[in-house]
Structure 1
Amino acid sequence: MNRYHPWHRQNGICHGSTRELQDDELLAQARDWRQRALRGETDARGFAHELECEARQRFPRNDTPLTLPPVRLLGKGAAASPAPLEALVNAQE
């Protein structure tokens, strides 16, 4: 009995293509292979990585940087006049 999925890579050659998988099947396979890798199954880590890379290409993250409040320097005058918490909260909105 072959315990590997038909898309399992052997000797660096991919048997099947991750691009052929439907989106939900790709995500399920990536999750399953990652679980197998975390349980210590030999060779599962590489294929989990390949599936996860394909998922990241299909579903890119939002590249918009987070808006952070302005940086306040700590020093001589900083302790005497800290900015109110309300100003920091309003700066994030």
Structure 2
Amino acid sequence: MLRDPLLRAWLGLIGLSLASTVLALGVGHQAFVGLAATATGAAILALAWLKARIILAAYLGLATAPFLRRGFDLVLGLYALLLLALYLAPAL
């Protein structure tokens, strides 16, 4: 049943989306404040980065093209680090 890579990717995306939602609800209900809220925001960004990697690999077929996948992973990782830096800049 779980041999289909698209089904595994879809289940992974559902799980990561659920985790993002739980974290966002915690921030929205003031369960996290201060440094914990900032760390939660960074965790949500990391989950979004993982979701983007799954989409690129499974749905765009980059899993079969390792060279292109590495290039996309590098660009996506640098973009995620830039977003993280911009997110954390006001906290400094």
More strand by share: 1
TM-score between the two structures when normalised by the length of structure 2:
0.34
Q: Greater RCO between the two (CA within 8 Å, min separation 6)?
A: 2
More helix by share: 2
